[in-house]
Amino acid sequence: MSTHQVHQDLSAAVRDVIDFPKPGIVFKDITPILADAGLFREAISLLCATAGGVKIDKVVGIDARGFIFAAAVADRLGAGFVPVRKTGKLPWKTRQTSYALEYGEASVELHEDAVQPGESILLVDDLLATGGTAAAAVKLLEELGANLIGISFLIELAFLHGRSKLIPHSVHSILSY
């Protein structure tokens, strides 16, 4: 199948849910991609390719949908997996940071021994909206001395300009709206 066709099939599978979780938000539901063996595999392949052949030590995924993609990418790349979680979920010593969401405010944290200085990291999430969540994860990774190879999303809502919050890092998205 051509790359163009794969992108079209992935895009067609994303379900727009109007006014979820609150009025005015068009929620991009990726569960139809997850439920389709072929599409899920293609999505993981395309995310893996964003590493550009660089050896990745750890793939960091963001709570919660980011975990699904990041864990599969980590396994495929032969890398470890590290979760960035919503505050209060991680049992060990953490680093924490707060940020603004497209809908609300939140804080995320990371185990402080999850990433060693200089380790090559690929950060993965399902969707880039305002960029607040990813920027928070980047801040934590930078504090730990990570070598951030790239930040990869299945979906980018380009009209929200979230990329601007992630400068100077290398940002990739598979589907852009």
Stretch that binds ligand AMP, among 39-47, 53-61, 110-118, 131-139 (CB under 6 A): 131-139
Restricted to residues 49-108, the positions that interact with ligand AMP (CB under 6 A) are 62, 65-66, 101-102
Say how many residues touch ligand AMP, by CB under 6 A.
Answer: 20
Task: Record the tokens describing residue 81, joined without a space.
Answer: 């997996």
Q: Is 48 in the site for ligand AMP (CB under 6 A)?
A: no
Cβ distance 61 to 124 under 8 Å?
A: yes
Q: Is 133 in the site for ligand AMP (CB under 6 A)?
A: yes
Structure letter (DSSP) for residue 159: G
Q: Is 132 in the site for ligand AMP (CB under 6 A)?
A: yes
Stretch that binds ligand AMP, among 33-41, 51-59, 74-82, 129-137 (CB under 6 A): 129-137
Rounded Cα distance between 110 and 43, Å, is 25
- Annotation marks residue 142 as catalytic: no
117 upstream amide cis, omega within 30 of 0: no
Helix (H) or strand (E) holding 35: none
* Residue tagged 């990570």 (tokens): 146
Exposed, middle or buried: residue 145 (CB in 10 Å: 0-12, 13-18, 19+)? exposed
Cβ distance 160 to 130 under 8 Å?
A: yes
- Annotation marks residue 65 as catalytic: yes
Task: Record the tokens describing residue 47, joined without a space.
Answer: 């995310």
Q: Is 9 in the site for ligand AMP (CB under 6 A)?
A: no
For the CB of residue 55, give the shortest distance to ligand AMP in the complex, in Å: 26
Which of residues 129, 141, 144, 166 is near ligand AMP by CB under 6 A? 129
Q: Which of 47, 129 has the CB closer to ligand AMP?
A: 129
List the catalytic residues: 65, 102
Which positions touch ligand AMP (CB under 6 A)?
Answer: 25-28, 62, 65-66, 101-102, 125-134, 162
